[in-house]
Structure 1
């Protein structure tokens, strides 16, 4: 048994999973979760630089996660940076500052690596998986779609369409104007039309991860407080997503927050819902299964496989 912290540093949020990796059972046993909205990718799409304020938010979050990991007797911290760090010209400076501040080493992973890890993480521990399925991960800076089965990945794509990136690029206000909304929709359709054809064979079995999916599922299910057990494997229909999108695109920021969307996600949920709706509509997917897992579970799964292959089967507390 090995206890690890897996940290997913995205464009909008930083997610922490502390888990015990059981090599005898071959399973991931979650111990602790935390989510922090850091908006690391603020203005990165335009400027290609992570600014000082965003860096300080990241350092504060990583310092917090380091303390939490120590309190839980974690043996190893694994941290991965995604779209915002991939795009930032000063990413090495940011990574070095985090190391100096708290000792956490962040590895910037490619879109292809992110997709592969998210694919395995999204369905880790699930039983009776379909023969072929897809996983969609709508992030703040990018969206990954991956297809395969329980044993292997057969197709993958990473696109620079994310809720934060496209909100900054197309929306000047909330609600957006009709022209802004349609321009964003055209951009999303352009990316999806180019990349979706290989995934049509898996249209009937799709799993979705990350904040856009889990937030929309929570609103649809009428939860006053987020309950991971009720969200995990929740069936979300294209009609439900479309109805919420129609509501969000006409609401002010305060009205969106009043409907249950947390601050820090409320200003990008319209775009996130638009990306999700167009994906489901263009692929012809009537419903999608929401997974509360994702990249950090994939990181844990990869470490578990490494331990198993190295022959580490000791079962210490």
Structure 2
């Protein structure tokens, strides 16, 4: 089954095309991105607005053209927190469906944590032992942990790098007092929410990476922080060390977005939010006692592919968290005319 997984995120619409055959590992055919630039588009009223809706429509239309060229048979389309939490979400989704034939559905933050954990478990295998996972997105932070294929604990907090930058770091560069307030805010939210997690399974790690378990990070934010700090382990795998991250936060705080974009490993699209991402990563590693986190190349889209592969193989999953995302490929070319608010600004 040739399947396209379309993730409409705060930076881009990312289409991953995979061949899924029961008994075989997922085989990636192609991956393509089109810009959405939603992170800075959310107004004080929580609406993305017509210009952002237009960019979403153009991005989705562009990815669909690639999917048709590759003979995709089914589509799994979803929006992450920037679209999911928008006050005008219903208008944007309706306009997108009219314009392209795609009607994205949504995962909860806990679903995202669970599916990302599934991908990380598949990547590392059972020999890795218990896993602790952290994923910093544009709108939310996901944490999951456990020793099985499914996490024993999965939670999502509104501590995404884009959200925090927009709400709490208005300057470029930000004022030092705003950075201090952000660090206290993130620390307090973690202290408030994490003790409620069932069984606190990460306490089984005397130290990440010792063989008794692994502390793992996914997402562009963590990957770029690891590149920035030049973290590698003895096997050459990319890691983020807490002591190196702490040393970089004051430096990032003193730079504007253009200066950060000139740093090795930091992309222009994430140069504004990399500081907030570093603050969240620092707080997570401090709170959970992880001196380092390995960077896993598999994340949410791979977890969705694995879940779908199990469905195609007749397995009954513990959680039916993706069936509502499935839809047939829209017929014909995506309509390029605007419909309602989704077309404005395209």
Q: Same fold (TM over 0.5)?
A: yes
Name which of structure 1's ranges 77-86 and 38-47 shifts more when overlaid on structure 2: 38-47
Alpha-carbon spacing, 1:182–1:84, altered in 2? closer, same or farther (3 Å):
same
Distance 1:202 1:14 in 2: 37
Tell whether 2:274 aligns with 1:272.
no
Q: Say which of 83, 86, 89 aligns to 2:87.
A: 89
Partner SS state of residue 44, structure 1 = coil
Report the Cα offset of residue 117 of structure 1.
1.4
In the other structure, the counterpart of 2:295 is 290
Distance 2:59 2:23 in 1: 33
Name which of structure 1's ranges 29-38 and 69-78 shifts more when overlaid on structure 2: 29-38
Distance 2:62 2:127 in 1: 36
Q: Say which of 36, 57, 64 aligns to 2:62.
A: 64
Contact 2:138/2:162 (8 A) holds in 1: yes
Contact 2:33/2:63 (8 A) holds in 1: no
Tell whether 2:248 aligns with 1:239.
no
Pairwise CA RMSD: 2.2
Alpha-carbon spacing, 1:35–1:218, altered in 2? closer, same or farther (3 Å):
farther
In the other structure, the counterpart of 2:22 is 23
Report the Cα offset of residue 212 of structure 1.
0.3
Contact 2:231/2:241 (8 A) holds in 1: no
Distance 2:120 2:8 in 1: 17
Residues 128-207 of structure 1 aligned to structure 2 (within 5 Å) = 128-197=126-195, 198-201=200-203, 203=205, 204=208, 205-207=214-216
Residues 43-54 of structure 1 aligned to structure 2 (within 5 Å) = 43-44=41-42, 46-54=44-52
In the other structure, the counterpart of 2:341 is none
Report the Cα offset of residue 219 of structure 1.
2.7
Write the deviation string for residues 74-93 of structure 1: whole angstroms up to 9, x where unpaired.
11111111212332222121
Partner SS state of residue 269, structure 2 = coil
Distance 1:248 1:65 in 2: 34
Tell whether 2:252 aligns with 1:248.
yes
Aligned residues: 301
In the other structure, the counterpart of 2:8 is 9
Report the Cα offset of residue 276 of structure 1.
0.6
Alpha-carbon spacing, 1:245–1:31, altered in 2? closer, same or farther (3 Å):
farther
Structure 1: gaps of 5 or more residues: 224-231, 312-317
Q: Say which of 305, 310, 314 aligns to 2:310.
A: 305
Report the Cα offset of residue 41 of structure 1.
4.3
Give the TM-score, by structure 1 length.
0.88
In the other structure, the counterpart of 1:315 is none
Partner SS state of residue 153, structure 1 = coil
Distance 1:132 1:71 in 2: 41
Alpha-carbon spacing, 1:60–1:5, altered in 2? closer, same or farther (3 Å):
same
Contact 2:48/2:86 (8 A) holds in 1: yes
Partner SS state of residue 243, structure 2 = helix
In the other structure, the counterpart of 1:105 is 103
Contact 1:8/1:295 (8 A) holds in 2: no
Higher Rg of the two aligned structures:
2
Distance 2:231 2:262 in 1: 13
Report the Cα offset of residue 241 of structure 1.
1.7
